[in-house]
Amino acid sequence: MSSDHTISPLCHGEFKHFKTAILNDGILLAGFDYFGKSVNVLNVESLSEWREIVQFVEQSAAIKGVVLVSLKEGNFCAGADLEQMHDAQRRCSFQEMEQLVITAHKLFDAMERSPKPFVAAVEGACLGGGLELALACHERIASTHPRTCFALPEVKLGILPGFGGTQRLPRLIGLPAALDMITTGKTIFPRQALRMGLVEGMVSSIPSSVRTLEKIQKEILVQAAIAQARVLCSAPARRRPLRASQRFLSGPGIRTFVCRYARHQVIKRVRHFYPAPLRAIDAVEGGMRLSILEGSLTVEKPLLLDLMASPISAHLVGLFLAGEEVKRKVATVPEAATRLGVLGAGLMGAQIAGQLSEKGYAVVLRDVSSNILATAIGRIHKTQTAQVRKRIILPSDLRYRMMRIAPTIHIRDVSAAPLVIEAVSEKLDVKRAVLAEFESEARPDAIFATNTSSYTLADIAVKAVHPERCVGLHFFNPVARMQLVEVVRAPFTSDIALAQACSLAKRLGKFPLVVHDGPGFLVNRILSRYLAEAVIMVGEGISIRRIDTVAKSFGMAVDSGHPMGPLELLDLIGLPVAMHVLTSLAVLGPRVESRDALLRNFLPEKKPPLTFWKSGKENAQALDAVANYRRAYPSEANPISDNILHQRLFLPMVDEAARCLHDKIVEHSWQVDFALTYGIGFPAFRGGLLTWARQTMTPGQITQELESLAVKYGKRFDPCPGFSSGGW
Ligand code: NAD
């Protein structure tokens, strides 16, 4: 920006959530800076201020155009204010929300129709209503800042893009691409956005650390947006025509088929569990015959309000806010470590090292042999290359990421790291030996974070010289996809070790849920009851397909896009690991029965373990293994209804969750709901394990069901003392 630009206060005075400046050539620079929040949100307050600004622009002859920018670091706008929406859902009162939606539609329409150009300068996350605000601008320029991304994630909250997104997006990027974004909520990165026409320009820009209007004017992004606004002032913006193929696929003749295909894809992915993506397609299809404002008000809005009033959306928004709470509540440290160690370069260690380098950490990755390290590096490279192919990162980014990982076989190379993640083989003596090695080499204040899934922190640190620096950092597999990390605190864990571990998980973009030490912590402890019961049923001769089908019909793992029953999940975890976890959790008492005699038949000598499923079918060898077991341990194959099968899978999980609360592994039932949803794919639309249980039956009824299962199938179903009085 040239120095002749002076800043004059907007005649209307100061705003609470926007800072404004009129530049000499009549461009109004509007900096969104929602007061009191770390991200910008759209609600009654911020939208009415934005409306005042838009009206002022309309009325003032001195203003020729507008550049909208964010003054928040790494966030353009997070979308609608979900706390306000959740409050409306709790009160079942939607008049205020409806008013907000109408205001947004009229306001965005006024921007779009304005003869004065609006240009959005997008840096950071531009999500939901934030993207709809940017779509109402005449043009969008994006910066390549690592946090810049675009998405309409409303379907993940059980609603649809309700500020005109279903109307504007197909007109901008064509019907197929818009339906894909809207029905999946997928994230689009700047290079992808430019290619698909979601933004008109992209610049590499260094953000100023002081986020004032004066400072950000020097940024390349803002300069580019101002320059573009000036160009548009003299040659008014016209909507860029769609490419021929996009035009063809969005045209009246073919539109019905494209929408039918999109519905088919949605049902394939989420079955009929989630109505929002289907209603979003209705909104897109219904609105294409109308003007944007008409489509927004008469098609999109009623569908949105219906969805907002549904219990599914209330559950999904509740879980989303629980995640925000988890992130907000944890103690963190201001000083970020930049160089970390990872011990063990197997399945988990390699993934963790890849994630760390992706987020900018230098990583020393240690294993016992160069061959293992070479395999791990190859695996990380493959995953990162996929991001280059998808245009998420540049080949140079890939090179930098790989250069940040230093493989080694020497423990001394890890000695300078202030925090080390241990992901070595799940054997207690190996873990203890690795901790001892770490203590002899590491800095006196270095933190040891174990990724164990079945031992307690107390078991591992039993001989530690400095147990206070031991903490659990339990990632889930696959690390890049699973958002939950259990941060395990033992009585001896220091506050600083806990805060370091939480900070790291948060910087990796995960939800760091603090849990107390105990066998299986929270998630695996509850999961073990589900998996063990599935294996017991296989041993009784119940078909593999039937067990998994019952779990999938309930919605297990549907949110991952790959519905999965317990036996398919066992295949994914890998039988040796799963057996190990189940055996270790036998310390919980006779309620975790691991059926080793059956599973040992699945481990042929010198061959890979058998899986329950093979190429989408029940594995014939697994069926033979079950038949062998049943010959050795004959039992009557009693008929069982789907309802009892369902109860046998899910009621023990509820019982175990109540026990976890009793043992203070976590304090609140919402933490159980959150952990199981994000840790093992308990269906989010049911609101979480305990919410589902409470809404389906009374504690007394569940107690009765468990007691009758105990009579028929064994004492492992006995409910925990006090279960029937609720409180969980
Ligand atoms: P893995 O067997 O794939 O890898 C373990 C690695 O540790 C091997 O490469 C082995 O060579 C290495 N190792 C052994 N001794 C070592 C030492 N002294 N120093 C450095 N490296 C050493 O196991 P994994 O599945 O990656 O599991 C690692 C840890 O993560 C375990 O504690 C496991 O319980 C936990 N975990 C596993 C999963 C999963 O799904 N597999 C999920 C969550 C947590």
User: Would the CB of 372 count as within 6 Å of ligand 1?
Assistant: yes
What residues does 69 pair with on adjacent strands? 31, 121
- pLDDT reading at 410 higher than 60: yes
Distance from Cα 341 to the centre of ligand 1, integer Å: 14
Out of 343, 365, 367, 440, mutate this one to test ligand 1's pocket (max ligand atoms within 8 Å of CB): namely 367
The encoded tokens of residue 209 equal: 């650390």
Closest ligand 1 atom number to CA of residue 345: 9
Out of 347, 441, 479, mutate this one to test ligand 1's pocket (max ligand atoms within 8 Å of CB): namely 347
Distance from Cα 350 to the centre of ligand 1, integer Å: 9
Share of the chain above pLDDT 70, in %: 98
pTM: 0.92
Distance from Cα 431 to the centre of ligand 1, integer Å: 10
Element (H, E) at 143: strand 139-143
Closest ligand 1 atom number to CA of residue 348: 26
Out of 425, 437, 569, mutate this one to test ligand 1's pocket (max ligand atoms within 8 Å of CB): namely 425
| Ligand 1, atom 16: closest residue by C-alpha | 424
The encoded tokens of residue 648 equal: 């046998």
| Ligand 1, atom 7: closest residue by C-alpha | 424
Give, rounded to a whole angstrom, the gap between the first and last alpha carbons of the chain. Answer: 59
Mean pLDDT of 142-166: 97
The encoded tokens of residue 347 equal: 């399945």
Q: Under 8 Å CB-to-CB from 483, ≥6 apart: which residues?
A: 323, 509, 510, 511, 678
User: Would the CB of 541 count as within 6 Å of ligand 1?
Assistant: no
Mean pLDDT of 164-192: 97
| Ligand 1, atom 43: closest residue by C-alpha | 476
DSSP letter at 115 equals S
User: Would the CB of 425 count as within 6 Å of ligand 1?
Assistant: yes
User: Would the CB of 434 count as within 6 Å of ligand 1?
Assistant: yes
Share of the chain above pLDDT 90, in %: 86
Q: How far apart are CA 290 and CA 280, in angstroms?
A: 16
How many angstroms from the chain centroid is the CA of residue 271? 20
Strand order in the sheet with 27-32: 18-22, 27-32, 65-70, 118-122, 139-143, 201-203
Closest ligand 1 atom number to CA of residue 434: 18
Helix axes 523-539, 575-584, angle to 10 degrees: 110
Strand order in the sheet with 149-151: 75-77, 125-127, 149-151
Q: How far apart are CA 555 and CA 180, in angstroms?
A: 22
Distance from Cα 524 to the centre of ligand 1, integer Å: 17
Phi-psi region of 714 (alpha: psi -120 to 50; beta: other; left: phi over 0): left
More confident residue, 606 or 263: 263
- pLDDT reading at 7 higher than 80: no
User: Would the CB of 451 count as within 6 Å of ligand 1?
Assistant: yes
pLDDT at 635: 84
Q: How far apart are CA 349 and CA 355, in angstroms?
A: 10
Q: How far apart are CA 434 and CA 457, in angstroms?
A: 14
Element (H, E) at 655: helix 642-662
| Ligand 1, atom 9: closest residue by C-alpha | 346
pLDDT at 519: 94
pLDDT at 488: 98
Residue 241 pLDDT level (bands cut at 50, 70, 90):
confident
Q: How far apart are CA 470 and CA 458, in angstroms?
A: 9
Closest ligand 1 atom number to CA of residue 350: 26
Instruction: Report how far apart, in Å, the C-alpha atoms of 394 and of each of 399, 553, 573, 633 are.
Output: 9, 41, 32, 58
Residue 540 pLDDT level (bands cut at 50, 70, 90):
very high
Mean pLDDT of 507-513: 96
pLDDT at 640: 94
User: Would the CB of 477 count as within 6 Å of ligand 1?
Assistant: yes
Residue 1 pLDDT level (bands cut at 50, 70, 90):
very low
Torsion (CA) 624, 626, 629, 633 in degrees, nearest 10: -130
Least Cα distance to 493 among 510, 516, 524, 521 occurs for: 516
- pLDDT reading at 267 higher than 50: yes
pLDDT at 576: 86
Distance from Cα 575 to the centre of ligand 1, integer Å: 15
Are 28 and 20 in contact by the 8 Å Cβ rule? The answer is yes
- pLDDT reading at 4 higher than 50: no
Kindly give the residue spans of alpha helices, DSSP state H, lying in 508-564. Answer: 523-539, 544-554
More confident residue, 565 or 8: 565
Distance from Cα 103 to the centre of ligand 1, integer Å: 54
User: Would the CB of 524 count as within 6 Å of ligand 1?
Assistant: no
User: Would the CB of 368 count as within 6 Å of ligand 1?
Assistant: yes
More confident residue, 238 or 223: 223
How many angstroms from the chain centroid is the CA of residue 36? 24
Are 528 and 522 in contact by the 8 Å Cβ rule? The answer is no
- pLDDT reading at 619 higher than 60: yes
Residues 203-231 have pLDDT tens digits of 998 888 889 999 999 899 999 999 999 99
More confident residue, 251 or 110: 110
Instruction: Report how far apart, in Å, the C-alpha atoms of 466 and of each of 433, 462, 470 are.
Output: 14, 10, 8
Least Cα distance to 73 among 209, 188, 215 occurs for: 209
- The backbone torsions φ and ψ at residue 489, rounded to the nearest 5 degrees and listed phi first, read -115, 125
Mean pLDDT of 607-631: 95
Distance from Cα 179 to the centre of ligand 1, integer Å: 41
Distance from Cα 426 to the centre of ligand 1, integer Å: 6
User: Would the CB of 370 count as within 6 Å of ligand 1?
Assistant: no
- The backbone torsions φ and ψ at residue 363, rounded to the nearest 5 degrees and listed phi first, read -125, 130
Residues 670-711 have pLDDT tens digits of 999 999 999 999 999 999 999 999 999 999 999 999 999 999
- Catalytic residue list: 474
User: Would the CB of 347 count as within 6 Å of ligand 1?
Assistant: yes
Element (H, E) at 170: helix 165-173
User: Would the CB of 450 count as within 6 Å of ligand 1?
Assistant: no
Mean pLDDT of 312-324: 97
User: Would the CB of 656 count as within 6 Å of ligand 1?
Assistant: no
Out of 364, 411, 424, 524, mutate this one to test ligand 1's pocket (max ligand atoms within 8 Å of CB): namely 424
- pLDDT reading at 11 higher than 80: no
- pLDDT reading at 123 higher than 60: yes
Collapse the DSSP code of 139 into the 3-class scheme (helix H, G, I; strand E, B; otherwise coil) and give the result. Answer: strand
Distance from Cα 424 to the centre of ligand 1, integer Å: 4
Least Cα distance to 69 among 133, 7, 5 occurs for: 133
Residues 99-122 have pLDDT tens digits of 999 999 999 999 999 999 999 999
User: Would the CB of 453 count as within 6 Å of ligand 1?
Assistant: yes
Mean pLDDT of 342-364: 97
Out of 366, 426, 482, 572, mutate this one to test ligand 1's pocket (max ligand atoms within 8 Å of CB): namely 426
Out of 342, 343, 348, 380, mutate this one to test ligand 1's pocket (max ligand atoms within 8 Å of CB): namely 348
- pLDDT reading at 238 higher than 90: no
Distance from Cα 451 to the centre of ligand 1, integer Å: 8
Distance from Cα 429 to the centre of ligand 1, integer Å: 13
Closest ligand 1 atom number to CA of residue 351: 26
CB neighbourhood size of 114 (10 A): 19
- pLDDT reading at 237 higher than 70: no
Distance from Cα 423 to the centre of ligand 1, integer Å: 5
The encoded tokens of residue 428 equal: 């207690």
The encoded tokens of residue 529 equal: 């009851």
- pLDDT reading at 247 higher than 90: no
Mean pLDDT of 321-337: 89
Mean pLDDT of the chain: 94
Mean pLDDT of 45-66: 96
- pLDDT reading at 236 higher than 90: no
Is the CA virtual torsion 672, 677, 680, 682 positive or negative? Answer: positive
Q: Which amino acid is at 591?
A: R
Closest ligand 1 atom number to CA of residue 411: 19
Pairing of strands 65-70, 118-122: parallel
- pLDDT reading at 2 higher than 50: no
Are 158 and 276 in contact by the 8 Å Cβ rule? The answer is yes
Question: What is the DSSP code string of 60-120?
Answer: -TT--EEEEEE-STTEEE--B-HHHHHHHHHHT--HHHHHHHHHHHHHHHHHHH-SS-EEE
| Ligand 1, atom 3: closest residue by C-alpha | 346
Q: Which amino acid is at 219?
A: E
